[in-house]
Structure 1
Amino acid sequence: MEHVALVVGVTGMAGLSLAETLKHPDSLGAPWKVYGAARRSPDDWFPSSILDGVITFDAVNSADTHAKLSPIAQEITHLFWVTFQFNADEDVNIAVNKTMLLNVLNALKSSPLSPLTHITLQTGTKHYMGPVQDPVRSTQLITHEPPFNENMPRLPYPNFYYALEDLVASYAPKITYSIHRSSIIIGASARSAHNALMMLAAYAAICRHLGLPFRYPGNKYTWHHFCDMTDAHVLAKQHVWAAVTEKAKNEAFNCTNGDVFSWKSVWKLLSEVFDVEFVELDENDEFDLVELMSDKGEVWDLIVEKYGLHKTKLKEIACYEAMVPVVRFEFQHVSSMNKSKDFGFFEYVDTFKSIRFWLAKLREMKLIPSY
């Protein structure tokens, strides 16, 4: 095959959608041979038939990475990087994530016959906001004004996205790259602790199970103002498009659904889908979602058992520490898609249809209850 992909992070929501997109007969650049890589082997929720091979290794460990990837180093033409390790401290993020990517690139380039020609790198809007999850730095950040666009300069804060961008750019022009800056990604996976939709679905299910009000954990600003999302399928198509489109090489692209929403409207939709009472935001009723969910692991276990769901642990599917800052911004979290359209990428999706689609998919995969 002319195109051989290695999708690192294939069991995540972005990775799964990317593998499915690559193997679709109408995919750009088809046919693709697709290897999927992850720290742990996929289990029964993952459609492993879409992969031509599965490789498990710890990307932080250079020896393990080299041992597992060197046998296929003479095949891989395209590296799709859709994984990361999350820490609140941004300096730790930089060290760990840069090490992971460097280890994989060193392993792939270990063969003098390596045909690697392109790297797609998944990042996000933290590029424009700074380390918003860092407990120290986040209190004094000065962010860019939305709508975010790709020409905005880097902010004067440490950011592991910047470190990864510099790393892939260092291989150009011999190996080209593309940067994909998504908004809030939604998709379906049992191994994505940062899937906002899965987090909110688990929260709604627990509220319903315990008879608790399904309260919005954000502020008045995000309740009423605009935000955007990124459907995992749209994101996957952008990765593939950039990987095989000459004009898109060595460029960065925002990736959103192409529309906007308010969290109030999403809350109404979620309340309807999960059959819980819609609760209007009460500014005097602030609460800490992270604290509320910190002891709900056993409740989730009961829900999993009651509805015959795929066995997951709440702490593995929901990182509420990462979700809360997103619903407490004091600016509209919106990115411009003009550059993508100027370069020829026109995929879009209605966000509310996207939410319904992925909730149905999560139910079909038995990751959340059906009511």
Structure 2
Amino acid sequence: MAGRKVVVAGATGLVGNAALRHFGALGGCEVVALSRRKPRELHGARHVPIDLTISAQCAGAATELQGTTHLTYAALYEAPNLIDGWLDPNQIRTNDLMLRNLMAALEPVAPQLRHVALLQGTKAYGVHVRPLIVPAREGRSEMYEQPNFYWAQENFLRELQQGKAWHWSILRPVLIIGLAMGGAMDLIPPLGVYAAMLRKQGRPLDYPGGAARVSQAVDVDLLARAIAWSGEADAARNQVFNVTNGDVFTWENIWPAIADALEMKPGDAVPLSLARQYPAWIAPWDELRRRHNLISPDLEAFVDLSFQYADYSMRHGQTQSGPPSIVSTVKINQAGFTEMMDTEAMFQKWFRQARTLRLLP
């Protein structure tokens, strides 16, 4: 990556943070982190505070964007009511505006621009409103009739790129697992806090979710490597790719491995809405932070909307087994990105890392 300048938009989020970590480790690569808040770790990047919804702030950052060769666009606006917000016209307009504002400022000062990586997900296939076609495949299974900011951003990027030297790639990860503080869709903090509350009571790690559904996940570091690959591979030029770990899982089957990583015994199925319960954990969490000398912040800053996302992901309140949520990764494998990871090992990796970093007790 020598001689390249990578801009990461949404640097405090799950994917953006992983991109900083990946590009920072490569060496010889200038990395600029764009976000409203300064990331907890910059991994050698230079932080530019910016609110992408404000065009004047984007224009004011033009000097910092000069010479950009690669853009990883991982910025995301989510509504306070996370799940309902996915269908909210304002959420769609805001995310569309953010990308337009940034590209309007970046493209004129980056004649060497080579690649824009854009993130979507399985909502492209309507997973939030209907059973997925199994397996969901790029270019065949999209739910274009469902309003979604994905389509607004994708159509804008396709039109903007016409006749230009740079190209784009769209990555569609499944359930992303990693570690970022205050993310809207980051499962390690809410599940870690839930586990800490049970351990404090001397209880095993009960499973709080609903009925099973066969799903997939992706390690955020693997996703960051896929993003980097897409910026260099000819086969990724102006293409859309699903990204997964390569296996499937159900929460019930990986629960013992999660309990082991947290040094707890797996418990029983005890349905619980983490989003409704967490206000009762605010004071006990602060006590645990002091007792264990944790570096994690208060509960709102640490977990934010991810309690809602945990309920959604684990199908809280669902009493019937759900239709499988499976996407095909044949396209990205045939294009040349063939990395895989065991999903059980992935969960253990991140829970153990959260404890090692003193984010969880």
Which segments of 5 or more consecutive residues in structure 1 lack a partner in the other structure? 133-140
Identity %: 26
CA distance in 2, matches of 1:294, 1:252: 40
Q: Could you tell me how far 1:216 is from its partner in structure 2? A: 2.4
- Corresponding residue of 1:294: 279
TM-score relative to the length of structure 2: 0.88
Q: Could you tell me how far 1:286 is from its partner in structure 2? A: 4.0
Aligned residue for 1:315, secondary structure, equals: helix
Kept in 1: contact 2:132–2:323 (CA 8 A): no
Render the CA deviation track for 1:197-221: whole Å, top value 9, x for unaligned.
Answer: 2221111112222445643232223
- Corresponding residue of 1:272: 260
Aligned residue for 2:161, secondary structure, equals: coil
Kept in 2: contact 1:58–1:65 (CA 8 A): yes
- Corresponding residue of 2:209: 218
- Corresponding residue of 2:359: 367
Kept in 2: contact 1:74–1:115 (CA 8 A): no
1:259 and 2:247 aligned: yes
Kept in 2: contact 1:147–1:335 (CA 8 A): yes
Q: Could you tell me how far 1:118 is from its partner in structure 2? A: 1.5
With 155-164 and 341-350 compared, the bigger mean Cα shift is at: 155-164
Q: Could you tell me how far 1:10 is from its partner in structure 2? A: 1.8
39, 51, 56: which one pairs with 1:58?
51
Letter in 2 for 1:324: D
Which segments of 5 or more consecutive residues in structure 2 lack a partner in the other structure? none
Kindly tell me: are residues 6 and 157 of structure 1, through their superposed partners in 2, closer, same or farther at Cα, counting changes over 3 Å? same
Kindly tell me: are residues 199 and 54 of structure 1, through their superposed partners in 2, closer, same or farther at Cα, counting changes over 3 Å? same
Q: Could you tell me how far 1:299 is from its partner in structure 2? A: 1.9
135, 148, 152: which one pairs with 1:159?
148
299, 302, 307: which one pairs with 1:314?
299
Q: Could you tell me how far 1:311 is from its partner in structure 2? A: 3.6
CA distance in 1, matches of 2:189, 2:140: 31
Render the CA deviation track for 1:153-196: whole Å, top value 9, x for unaligned.
Answer: 43221112222212221222313111111111111222424211
- Corresponding residue of 2:16: 15
Runs of 4+ in 1 over 3 A off after TM superposition: 210-215
Kept in 2: contact 1:184–1:196 (CA 8 A): no
Q: Could you tell me how far 1:346 is from its partner in structure 2? A: 0.8
Kept in 2: contact 1:7–1:34 (CA 8 A): yes
CA distance in 2, matches of 1:106, 1:269: 46
CA distance in 2, matches of 1:194, 1:37: 19
304, 313, 334: which one pairs with 1:326?
313
CA distance in 2, matches of 1:292, 1:331: 27
> 1:1-371 alignment to 2 at 5 Å?
2-25=3-26, 31-43=28-40, 46=41, 48-51=42-45, 53-67=46-60, 69-87=61-79, 88-89=84-85, 90=87, 91-111=89-109, 114-130=111-127, 132=128, 141-155=129-143, 156-173=145-162, 174=164, 175-211=166-202, 214-222=205-213, 226-281=214-269, 286-318=271-303, 319-328=306-315, 330-369=322-361
CA distance in 2, matches of 1:241, 1:110: 25
Render the CA deviation track for 1:33-78: whole Å, top value 9, x for unaligned.
Answer: 11111111234xx1x3422x111111111111211x2103331111
Q: Could you tell me how far 1:309 is from its partner in structure 2? A: 0.9
CA distance in 2, matches of 1:246, 1:280: 49
Aligned pair count? 344
TM-score relative to the length of structure 1: 0.86
Q: Could you tell me how far 1:327 is from its partner in structure 2? A: 1.9
CA distance in 2, matches of 1:151, 1:343: 15
CA RMSD of aligned residues (A): 2.0
